[in-house]
Amino acid sequence: MPLFLIPSPIGNLGDITYRAVTVLQQADTILCEDTRTSGILLKHYKIQKSLMAYHQHNEHLVTGKIVAELQAGKTFALLTDAGTPGISDPGYLLTRECIRNGVQVECLPGPTAFVPALLQSGIPTNSFVFEGFLPLKKGRQTMLKKLATEERTIVLYESPHRLAKTLREMVEHFGGSRQAAVCRELTKMFEETKRDTLEALSAFYEANQIKGEIVLVVQGLD
């Protein structure tokens, strides 16, 4: 039976698709990055199923078992905390092993945070590169130097406590005049998007601490 990759809402629970709810209702087991987080979504849609934790700390240990159960006829659905499995979230390893072992994998379309951020940034969308999270230490400066010469629009995920540092480093490597957008808490109550130059955004977030999930969109090199 197939493995279903189920995109989950990035904030507003109403953003899940009808099809995703149906697949979750029919699955034998739902794999969850965090059973507590997924439990909120499942309770909202009155879905009661067997849940199994599947995250970056145990995926290497349990992937083989899951593949074996899929081969034996069970249906699994994978939910990460928010967005599409495999996009800066667990999902790639299990997908790869399913394909290697002849197990069908089907990814449903649905929420991914970087898409609405890119579209509402006001920065060109015809060609872009998504880099997920920047390296924390090793390779960070090398990556920033590489991205400084990137001609496509650059899309990144960032945490609120590292945002000011990242913007400061981008001003150093990219220059301060590039247009950028900081999109925070997309689809949630306190959603906001700030658009300005890297220099102006850097100054703002040095002076203002924020919370929430962040997508950073930066204009490519002209």
Listed by start position, the domains of the chain span: 3-107, 114-218
Which residue ranges in the chain fall short of pLDDT 50?
none
User: Is CATH 3.40.1010.10 what the domain over 3-107 is classified as, yes or no?
Assistant: yes
Q: Going edge to edge, which strands form the sheet with 29-32?
A: 50-53, 29-32, 76-79, 3-6, 105-107
Q: What is the pLDDT of residue 122?
A: 97
Q: Is 5 left (phi over 0), alpha (psi -120 to 50) or beta?
A: beta
Q: What is the pLDDT of residue 74?
A: 97
Q: What is the pLDDT of residue 1?
A: 84
Total residue count of the chain as it appears in this document: 222
* CA-wise closest residue to 13 among 96, 98, 81, 85: 81
pTM of the model: 0.93
Helix segments in 32-150, DSSP class H: 35-44, 59-71, 92-100, 114-120, 140-148
User: Is CATH 3.40.50.720 what the domain over 114-218 is classified as, yes or no?
Assistant: no
Q: What is the pLDDT of residue 3?
A: 98
Q: What is the pLDDT of residue 31?
A: 98
d(CA 200, CA 53): 42
